[in-house]
Amino acid sequence: IRRDRRLRERRGDVRGRGVDARHALAVAVTVLLLADPFLAGQLGFGLSVGATAGVLVLAPWLGERLPGPRWLALPAGITLGAQLGAAPLLLTLDGISAGSLPANLVAVPAAAAAQAIGIVAAVIAQGSIAAAGVVAALAGPPLSLIVATAETFAAGPRVTAEALASPVLLLTLALVAAATLARRRWPRTPHPVGVAVAALAGVLAPLPSLPPADVEHLTVTILDVGQGLAVLLEVPDGQGTARMLYDAGPDGAATLDHLADRRIQHLDVLALSHAHDDHSGGMPAVLDELDVDRLVVGPHEPRDQRAESVHRTYRAAAAADVVIDRVRAGRRFTLGEARVRVLSPPGDGSLGREPNSRSVVLRVASPDGRVLLAGDAEHAAQRRLLRRAPGRLPAAVLQVAHHGGATNAARFHGAVDPAVGVISVGAGNPFGHPDPRVIQRLGDADTRVYRTDRHGTVTLTLVDGRVRAQPQRRPRRGRRGRRVRRGGPAHASLLAMSITMRSGSLSTWTRKGRWLSSPTAHCMWASKSPSATTSWMVGALGASRRSGPS
């Protein structure tokens, strides 16, 4: 490419001049940010841009200089370029594994093979599910190779930002960058290595002086974690900010990403509403990654063995010496300048054994206003609250229970009378959440409704009883899409295969009633971000047909 460009320049041939890929990337980033300015604060967007820039700027230079045959040096240069481009941001998160380069050299071709097999299986599935299953099984070896590679290199050493953020090292990096840039008497195009080192120094330099930002008022952030729930409460405490995380989403990835963006490394309280994976799935990861003072759980030991994440949560808490605080209705504790009261469940087991009904319902009251966190509390729990504690229900902000499902009682919403109701829900979830009647009911009561599937992460600041809302994105206004009847001929559902790797196992989708499902379908459908364990799903959207159970 460089020889062709120099040849065209010597010939004065401007007609053959192609578009500089770096300019194209800059234009693409500019257009995307103009369309959605909030992308600038999203970690995934920054990683994508950084990796792409690394491929465009560093990969050609690396490919020419790496030893070995060209057919191996070029792919290695691309992989290394992408990693170097994303390295400054990765260092601010969990660090970079020392074995990431050889791991990617093995995993990337395997992933490409699995994806190709999955696409073929998806096409074949339109005609024959059985035949597609045979083809999909061929993806087992490359997926197993990915798992083995990840397990092999995961235990290796990691390079973290904290280890690099020393004044001496930063000064050394700056000097190396300056020397590299000056090597060719300040050329018009900076040397790729100089650019990479300068970017690394620029990102690391401010880290030691950037603690999490304190809040001046009660702030509630409902995170966009897909079909699940994670709520961050931040309260002034006179000397800084006290923080509580209520649930952690289905897998913890989106939750940890948000906390990392905010540079939050410590939680005063981690509260679990109930033993369902879409609320508890991310708890072990949060306990592993953050400094947590106290884990608040309900009074009953979970007997639902499907909620394996709850048992892993207890084990992670014990390993980290985190205090486990079992609470019941009537219990109170403080969070900064706020008072937290447990409204449900009671300790007598009167709500039964269903985890949703036993959700830990919290009322947070501060001088700025009240917040009610309802978890997945259903009719029975809501009716009990109406009987036992109606005067404690009014709140400016309501986390609408059970993802806005039909199990919400109209009288309960009337008693809370919130100015703002927030529904944490995954786009296109198979449960019909939120129920349109719940949305209508809240709207009729002049409650502003925010949904994470449409608004993304929603941040609410309470000031003197008033609520200021800052959604991550605004729903697009325009022509409504055609409504599709569930189970009808135009209802979109997954018709192809699901290749799901859980400890090397392979599962396929089967027809069950109106849905195609697999043993881990709920987890995959609900999860918005990559889970702690590797999952690969290959599917195709098409028109479903009514069929009886198989």
Q: pLDDT higher for 429 or 513?
A: 429
Q: pLDDT higher for 275 or 497?
A: 275
Same domain, 192 and 252: no
Is 325 a member of any domain?
Answer: yes
Is the preceding omega at residue 192 within 30 degrees of 0, hence cis?
no
In tens, the pLDDT along 443-500 reads 999 999 999 999 999 999 999 889 999 998 776 554 333 333 333 333 323 322 333 3
Q: Which of 250, 351, 257 is nearest to 300 (CA)?
A: 351
**Arithmetic mean of pLDDT, 2-23:** 55
Q: Which of 172, 191, 170, 173 is nearest to 182 (CA)?
A: 191
Is 396 a member of any domain?
Answer: yes
CB count within 10 Å of CB 96 equals 19
Same domain, 105 and 226: no
By percentage, how much of the chain surpasses pLDDT 70?
71
By percentage, how much of the chain surpasses pLDDT 90?
37
Same domain, 167 and 223: no
Mean pLDDT is lowest, of 286-290, 422-426, 484-488, for 484-488
DSSP letter assigned to residue 505 = B
Listing DSSP states for 355-411 in one string gives TTTT--EEEEEETTEEEEE-TT--HHHHHHHHHH-GGG---SEEE-GGGG-TT--HH
- For the beta sheet containing 338-344, the strands, ordered from the edge strand earlier in sequence to the opposite edge, are 332-335, 338-344, 361-366, 369-373, 397-399, 420-423, 448-451
For residue 441, what are its two tokens?
């009911």
* Percent of the chain that is helix, strand, coil (3-state, to 5): 45, 20, 40
Is 239 a member of any domain?
Answer: yes
CATH code for the domain in which residue 279 is found: 3.60.15.10
Q: Which of 507, 512, 497, 500 is nearest to 547 (CA)?
A: 512
Q: What is the reported pLDDT for 254?
A: 87
Listing DSSP states for 287-348 in one string gives HHHSEEEEEEE-SS----TT-HHHHHHHHHHHHTTPEEEE--TT-EEEETTEEEEEEE--TT
3-state class of 432 per DSSP? coil
Whole-number Å distance between alpha carbons of 403 and 408 = 10
Q: What is the reported pLDDT for 528?
A: 34
Q: Decide: 450 and 471 in contact? Cβ < 8 Å.
A: yes
Whole-number Å distance between alpha carbons of 93 and 197 = 18
* pLDDT tops 60 at residue 44: yes
CB count within 10 Å of CB 475 equals 12
For residue 17, what are its two tokens?
């001049």
Whole-number Å distance between alpha carbons of 263 and 297 = 25
DSSP letter assigned to residue 207 = G
**Arithmetic mean of pLDDT, 150-171:** 68
In tens, the pLDDT along 359-387 reads 999 999 999 999 999 999 998 899 999 99
CA angle in degrees (0–180, nearest 5) for 448-450-454: 140
Same domain, 238 and 354: yes
Q: Which of 483, 482, 517, 488 is nearest to 500 (CA)?
A: 517
Mean pLDDT is lowest, of 218-222, 263-267, 508-512, for 508-512
* pLDDT tops 60 at residue 208: no
Kindly indicate the confidence band of residue 181, based on its pLDDT and cuts at 50, 70 and 90. low
Same domain, 21 and 141: yes
Q: What is the reported pLDDT for 76?
A: 76
Q: What is the reported pLDDT for 515?
A: 35
* pLDDT tops 50 at residue 549: no
Q: What is the reported pLDDT for 347?
A: 81
Whole-number Å distance between alpha carbons of 139 and 380 = 46
Which residues fall within 8 angstroms of residue 52, CB to CB, at 6 or more apart?
A: 25, 82, 85
**How far is CA 355 from each of CA 250, 296, 527, rounded to the nearest angstrom?**
16, 16, 20
- β-sheet bridge partners, residue 325: 296
DSSP letter assigned to residue 462 = E
Range of the domain at 246: 219-471
Is 476 a member of any domain?
Answer: no
* pLDDT tops 60 at residue 154: yes
- Left (φ > 0), alpha (ψ -120 to 50) or beta: where does 375 sit? left
* pLDDT tops 80 at residue 178: no
Whole-number Å distance between alpha carbons of 125 and 123 = 5
* pLDDT tops 70 at residue 85: yes
Whole-number Å distance between alpha carbons of 534 and 146 = 9
Is 466 a member of any domain?
Answer: yes
Q: What is the reported pLDDT for 397?
A: 96
Is 351 a member of any domain?
Answer: yes
Kindly indicate the confidence band of residue 430, based on its pLDDT and cuts at 50, 70 and 90. confident
The last residue of one of the domains, among 427, 443, 471, is 471
Q: What is the reported pLDDT for 223?
A: 95
The last residue of one of the domains, among 181, 204, 227, is 204
Same domain, 188 and 270: no
Is 256 a member of any domain?
Answer: yes
Same domain, 358 and 415: yes
**The total number of structural domains that make up the chain:** 2
Q: pLDDT higher for 220 or 524?
A: 220
Kindly indicate the confidence band of residue 210, based on its pLDDT and cuts at 50, 70 and 90. low
* pLDDT tops 70 at residue 205: no
For residue 325, what are its two tokens?
């605080």
Same domain, 304 and 379: yes
Mean pLDDT is lowest, of 291-295, 301-305, 543-547, for 543-547
The last residue of one of the domains, among 169, 204, 239, is 204
* pLDDT tops 60 at residue 77: yes
Same domain, 273 and 385: yes
Widest pairwise Cα distance in the chain: 88
**How far is CA 508 from each of CA 22, 35, 398, 442, 537, rounded to the nearest angstrom?**
42, 38, 39, 40, 10
Mean pLDDT, rounded, of the chain: 76
In tens, the pLDDT along 308-330 reads 788 889 999 999 999 999 999 99
Residue 397, burial from CB neighbour count under 10 angstroms (0-12, 13-18, 19+): buried
Same domain, 233 and 195: no
| Chain centroid offset of residue 510 CA | 28
Kindly indicate the confidence band of residue 301, based on its pLDDT and cuts at 50, 70 and 90. low
Which residue type is seen at 266? H
Kindly indicate the confidence band of residue 536, based on its pLDDT and cuts at 50, 70 and 90. very low
Is 457 a member of any domain?
Answer: yes
For residue 522, what are its two tokens?
């709920």
Same domain, 233 and 352: yes
Question: What kind and span of H or E run contains 59?
Answer: helix 59-65
Highest mean pLDDT of the ranges 420-429, 472-481, 508-517 = 420-429
Kindly indicate the confidence band of residue 185, based on its pLDDT and cuts at 50, 70 and 90. low
**Arithmetic mean of pLDDT, 102-122:** 87
In tens, the pLDDT along 46-76 reads 888 888 988 888 888 877 777 777 777 777 7
Highest mean pLDDT of the ranges 33-42, 209-218, 380-389 = 380-389
**How far is CA 144 from each of CA 111, 139, 279, 506, 539, rounded to the nearest angstrom?**
10, 9, 29, 10, 19
- Size (the chain), residues: 550
Q: How many CA atoms lie within 13 A of 160 on its CB side?
A: 8
Same domain, 195 and 261: no
Whole-number Å distance between alpha carbons of 270 and 324 = 10
